[in-house]
Structure formats: structure tokens, C-alpha cells
Amino acid sequence: MALPFLPYIVVGVVHLAAVLAGADAVVALTKPLLMPALLLALLLAVPARRGETVVLAALGILFGWLGDLALMNAGAGFVIGLGFFLLGHVAYIVLFVRRMRLRRPRWWSAGYVLWFAGLLTVLAPHAGGLLIPLALYGAALAVLGITGSGCSPWIAGGAALFVVSDSLLGLHRFLPGFALPQADFAIMLTYIAAQGLICWGVVRRVRAAAAVPSLA
């Protein structure tokens, strides 16, 4: 089951190494390959019979890919990328609620509400005309974390890392004086891990449901 994820891991490692080395050409080459490699892993790792679960997971990955491409362009690319990632989060939220045997969110997921309030408070004075889009995006991200917490540890961990990655991105872009060493590396590391863990959790769920038809 893990073998289909090997290309994603390899591309991810090369991309992260290129970020650390400042090899911009390699970064630009590998970033657009990340989500296609993960989508390939999803399609190869699940049984031949695919349904809503795989479609929703594939949409989350596809919108992530479009967001990645948009963020590679300056100017309006950030806002467009934000929109694509928002759609990806919505796809994952629907997936978690409808198909991942969602349990009651864990008690600690209340921390996402506090995180959202705190981050918005910090970024609001610097967001300008992007305040409302950022608030909507942050709210969706908090819901992603909350709903993910009620799923498997793999998905809960992936959703949490998504919150970390996007928080770092927001702070890096909007907060004056924010100086995290190797911020780009930290953002991409948590993002790659987040997408990978969510996909891995989905694959495990689909294969378990296929082995026990009553769980489908």
C-alpha cells in the first residue's frame, strides 16, 4: 500500500532540499509535480472500485495543485491561490464529515477556535483589503482542523499540519518583522506532510471499507 506514495516522497524530498539550497530552478520544477504525484498515489493505492470518498479526496488534491500553481505567480496569484486552497479545504471537510466515519471532534479541537481568533487579531491590522478573504479562509481552516480531529490519527495530524502551514504562510506574508528561519522550508515541509497524511488516512479508510463491505 505504501509503494504508490514513493514518487510523492521522492519529489517532496527533492523539493525541500532545493528550498534549503536556494535552487530556485529545481523548486519551480518540482512544486508543480507534488500534487500530481500524490493524486497518482491515491488512485493506485485504492481498490479498483472508487466512489465519493476518492472523488472528494482527489478534489482536495487537485485544488491544492491549482493553488500551488497560482502561488508561484506574483500579484493576483496569491488571491487566486487562496481561493483554490479554500475549495480544497471545503472538499476535505465534506469528505471528513460524509465518508471518514467522523466521530465527535476531540476536546482539544476547541484550540482551533482560539487559534483562529488569535491569528486574525494579529493579521487584521496588516491585511488591508484582504481581511475578509483571510477571515473566510481562516474559518474554513479552523473547521478543517475541527472535523479532522474526529477522524483517524493520520487525518487529524494532516489537518493540524495544514493549519500550521497556512498559519506560517499568513504570518510570513502579512506580519511585519516576522522572521522565522527557513520560513519557506517550514511552510512547504508542513504542507507536504499535511497533504500526504490526509491522503494516507483516506487510503487506509477506503481499503478497510473494501475489506469489510458493511463499513462502506
What is the predicted pLDDT for the residue at 187? 96
| 55: CB partners within 8 A, 6+ apart | none
pLDDT digits (tens, 9 = 90+) for 54-106: 999 999 999 999 999 999 987 767 889 999 999 999 999 999 998 776 677 88
Give, as one character, the DSSP assignment of residue 49. Answer: -
Q: When comparing pLDDT for 42 and 181, which is higher?
A: 42
Q: Cα(132)–Cα(69) distance, rounded to whole angstroms? A: 23
Q: What angle do CA 118, 154, 171 make, to 5 degrees?
A: 25
Q: Considering only residues 98 and 159, tell me which one the structure prediction assigns the higher pLDDT.
A: 159
| Percent of residues, the chain, with pLDDT higher than 90 | 76
**CB-based contact 32:6 (threshold 8 Å):** no
Work out the percent of the chain whose per-residue pLDDT is above 70. Answer: 94
Give the single-character DSSP code of 76.
Answer: T
pLDDT band at 214 (very low <50, low <70, confident <90, very high): very low
Using CA atoms, how far apart are residues 137 and 135, in angstroms rounded to an integer?
5
Find the mean pLDDT for residues 3-23: 97
- The tens digit of pLDDT for each residue in 193-207 reads 999 999 999 999 888
Q: 85: number of CA atoms within 13 Å, CB side?
A: 27
pLDDT score at 215: 40
pLDDT computed for residue 212 by the predictor: 59
Contact 156, 197 (CB under 8 A): no
pTM for the whole structure? 0.93
Q: DSSP assignment of 114-128, as one string? A: HHHHHHHHHHHHHHG
Mean pLDDT across the stretch 135-159?
A: 95
